[in-house]
């Protein structure tokens, strides 16, 4: 499968373009260029999401989505010592960003680097750092600038309302793991781009006419809130939640039967499971207990549409996330199967193919 190196490469590239919800123009522009290159027509919706059209063999319209926006933060105020108080964008525990390098993006277009830390970051100076509650009030951004006062920081042009993005720390290991923040949901964006590349390279046409939404406000709840009215089915591709008693892992595609927004469409979900069985795709059916998706947004936005949700398992989601190329591959396979372009001979397991190819050389 020649598209996996492409998927990993484009994933690394888009992951390294900061895009907390509300600050997605740059990454969207990069994705638009990619879609243009692959030769599919696309337009931006009014709130900045990218809608790609793929002609199918039938007029039946299947919507797909993956979200480009990520967790991040916003400057709340400049503290008297020149550090920054901030509020989260999206849902995460402060512990999961403590120690992260970050960037502050000012409204005037400047970028400053910094580190997210508690207000008592040094164990040599503060006796209670283990006990300190990691609340918004107790966290700050330390800027890599010689600032001592609020005025010093304000003079740099930094102030309330500026966006903060987290260093993703992308690593692709020799064992096939991808460790990075924001695999939720840029991993799925990369899988869809890989799928578009496959259509482009092979000239295959999906059964359904596709309307693919690269959404940009999922983490704050309204990414897929509006879909083209002709959309009959909507398949959101987003990370599979892992851990606890859930059955998925980083090497499988999760099929979500129910999340916080309720059960997904019975027939669509069954069909995804049947296709996974038919093609020998490694899948896991799960409920995601604390989770919403672009499909949830589509339903609560009032769209009359059947919805389902799949995606590669992502460990430690909204924290130091990790997935595996096998998980991306199974997601790709299930997407290709659902759209009727999957050939039986494409192998189930990507990483095994790669190993055997390497062995043949």
Span interacting with Zn ion, options 90-98, 182-190, 271-279, 323-331, rule CB under 5 A: 182-190
Pair of tokens at residue 212: 């693919």
Please say if 98 is a catalytic residue: no
Q: What are phi and psi of 54, to 5 degrees?
A: -130, 120
For Zn ion, the closer CB: 184 or 249 = 184
Phi, psi of 271 (to 5 degrees): -65, -40
Q: Does 294 bind Zn ion (CB under 5 A)?
A: no
Query: Using only C-alpha atoms, what is the Rg of the chain?
Result: 21
Shortest separation between residue 71's beta carbon and Zn ion, angstroms? 9
Q: How far apart are CA 13 and CA 358, in angstroms?
A: 25
Nearest approach, Cβ of residue 67 and Zn ion (Å): 6
Strands (DSSP E) contained in 280-321 are 283-287, 306-314
Q: Which residue in 34, 218, 219, 250 is the catalytic one? A: 218
Segment near Zn ion (CB under 5 A); pick from 17-25, 230-238, 252-260, 267-275? 230-238
Scanning 100-108, 234-242, 258-266, 350-358 for contacts with Zn ion by CB under 5 A, the matching segment is 234-242
Number of residues that bind Zn ion (CB under 5 A): 3
CB of 316 to Zn ion, least distance (A): 14
According to CB under 5 A, which one of 3, 185, 259, 321 is a site residue for Zn ion?
A: 185
C-alpha dist (Å) from residue 64 to 87, 109, 186, 209, 238: 31, 32, 14, 11, 10
The CA distance from 73 to 103, in Å, is 10
- Using the minimum distance from each CB to Zn ion, give the nearer residue, 183 or 276: 183
Provide the minimum distance between the beta carbon of 295 and Zn ion in the complex, in angstroms, as a whole number: 11
| CA–CA gap between residue 245 and residue 46 (Å, rounded) | 40
Piece of 29-37, 180-188, 272-280, 345-353 that binds Zn ion (CB under 5 A)? 180-188
Binding mask 137-176 for Zn ion (x = CB under 5 A): ----------------------------------------
Q: Which of residues 236-275 bind Zn ion (CB under 5 A)?
A: 238
Can you tell me the distance from the alpha carbon of 286 to that of 240, in angstroms, rounded to the nearest whole number?
9
* Of 3, 69, 162, 184, the one binding Zn ion by CB under 5 A: 184
**192 neighbors 247 (Cβ within 8 angstroms):** no
How far apart are alpha carbons 283 and 285 in whole angstroms?
Answer: 7
Q: Give me the residues that bind Zn ion (CB under 5 A), please.
A: 184-185, 238
- Which positions are annotated as active-site residues? 218
């Amino acid at each position: 499968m020649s598209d996996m190196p492409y998927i990993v490469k484009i994933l690394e590239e888009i992951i390294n373009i900061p895009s907390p919800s509300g600050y997605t123009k740059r990454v969207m522009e990069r994705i638009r260029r990619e879609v243009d290159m692959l030769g599919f027509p696309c337009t931006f919706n009014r709130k900045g999401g990218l809608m790609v059209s793929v002609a199918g063999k039938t007029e039946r319209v299947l919507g797909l989505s993956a979200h480009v926006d990520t967790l991040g933060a916003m400057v709340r105020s400049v503290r008297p010592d020149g550090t920054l108080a901030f509020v989260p964008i999206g849902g995460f525990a402060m512990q999961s960003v403590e120690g992260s390098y970050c960037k502050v993006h000012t409204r005037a277009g400047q970028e400053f680097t910094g580190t997210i830390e508690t207000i008592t970051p040094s164990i040599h100076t503060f006796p209670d750092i283990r006990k300190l509650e990691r609340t918004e009030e107790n966290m700050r951004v330390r800027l890599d600038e010689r600032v001592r006062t609020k005025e010093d920081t304000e003079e740099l042009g930094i102030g309330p309302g500026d966006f903060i993005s987290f260093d993703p720390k992308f690593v692709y290991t020799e064992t096939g793991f991808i460790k990075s923040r924001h695999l939720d949901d840029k991993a799925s964006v990369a899988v869809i781009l890989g799928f578009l590349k496959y259509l482009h390279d092979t000239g295959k046409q999906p059964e359904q006419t596709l309307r693919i939404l690269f959404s940009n406000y999922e983490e704050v709840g309204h990414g897929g809130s509006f879909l083209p009215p002709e959309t009959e089915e909507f398949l959101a591709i987003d990370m599979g939640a892992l851990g606890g008693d859930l059955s998925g892992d980083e090497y499988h595609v999760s099929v979500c039967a129910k999340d916080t927004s309720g059960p997904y469409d019975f027939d669509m979900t069954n069909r995804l499971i049947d296709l996974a069985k038919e093609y020998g795709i490694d899948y896991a059916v799960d409920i995601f207990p604390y989770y919403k998706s672009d499909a949830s947004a589509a339903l609560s936005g009032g769209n009359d549409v059947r919805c389902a949700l799949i995606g590669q398992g992502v460990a430690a989601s909204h924290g130091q996330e990790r997935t595996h190329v096998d998980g991306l591959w199974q997601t790709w396979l299930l997407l290709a199967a659902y759209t009727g372009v999957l050939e039986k001979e494409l192998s189930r397991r990507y990483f095994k193919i790669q190993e055997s190819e390497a062995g043949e050389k």
